[in-house]
Amino acid sequence: MRIGRRKFGTFLLAGLSTACTIGAPRATAAKESLHWPLFKTRFLDSSGRIVDTGNNRISHSEGQGYGMVLAVKAGDRPAFDKIWRWTKNNLRQGGNPLFAWRYDPRLPQPVSDPNNATDGDLLIAWALGEAGQVWGVPSLLTEARVIRKAVLARLTVDLGGLKLLLPGEKGFLREGAATLNPSYYVWPALESFARVAPGEGWQQIIIDGSAFLTRARFGPAGLPTDWVEMLDTGEVRPAPDREPRFGFDAVRVPLYAALAGRSGLARPVTEYWRSRLAAGAFVPAWVDVKTGEVAEYSASEGVLAIVSLVTGTPAGSSLSSDYYAAVLQSMAALR
């Protein structure tokens, strides 16, 4: 379930340059127009909330960010404005420029945990920057800049000789170690930030994040795990409090790497998937990097879309009715 995908320890879980990594919004792009209208119909409610249909219809800052990215890529400004308005009004807490990670409409207080999720903040800032540049809205460029600076000031840590992105502001640091999530490095967002704001420090995040990801490879296949622990000695290992799986989070590592033209960061994943396909085996939903055990069931349509993207093999074209799978499909189609 999605809550399990996000939960860890105490954490319950401006503008862009004209030449953007995966292109400026193109309303006529075939793959984008194929997915966005149906995605919007299935997962965007009338208020501007992106609904996680696989997780009790809650919402995440991540989902709002995905919706904003997909809307601006499709050239759908009314939908973008609606999603951004809801996000700003419901997930920002007081004067904090970052966004609460989870919204549950069933609760008397829908935002019960004010902690953020860094991938959601990065997606939102990326989308705001693109929208501000494409539609000529200075206020959106300003919002993007404010979020970027807050991420650098509040969500980074110097550890093991590297400057790294924390998954959230609270709950991921202990003495001599940090818990990290490789899939929170949204590479197309980071690279766009480095281009539009070369003096802010994003290039160091990119360099050190690349070094971190090349270390965060485990088991015979060299796969990243959903959650990783890094020690101040520079040692990287699967997070001891979590199952050591290449699973529902880590599948986004090859997705973001491919979207940013940095496929080398996820080459072991691509090679693993290719080897499975060549052997006539199914692509499993998860892999235990310590034991080699794999899930008895196949990966979702969303993961298979990523497999198709990075291996060049055919994939289905129908959009999943599950939020997370549909997100992965829609993002993979941006390449």
Report pLDDT for 315. Answer: 80
Average pLDDT over residues 55-66: 97
pLDDT at 197 over 80: yes
Average pLDDT over residues 133-143: 98
Report pLDDT for 34. Answer: 59
Average pLDDT over residues 158-165: 97
Q: Known catalytic residues?
A: 62, 119
Q: Measure the CA–CA gap between 255 and 333, rounded to whole angstroms.
A: 10
Which has more pLDDT, 28 or 124? 124
pLDDT at 14 over 80: no
Q: Measure the CA–CA gap between 293 and 284, rounded to whole angstroms.
A: 10
Report pLDDT for 191. Answer: 97
In this prediction the pTM is: 0.91
Q: What is the pLDDT of residues 223-248, one digit of tens each?
A: 999 999 999 999 999 999 999 999 99
All structural domains of the chain with their residue ranges: 2-332
Q: Measure the CA–CA gap between 15 and 127, rounded to whole angstroms.
A: 9
Q: Residue with structure tokens 């700003």? A: 88
Classify domain 2-332 by CATH number. 1.50.10.10
pLDDT at 15 over 50: no
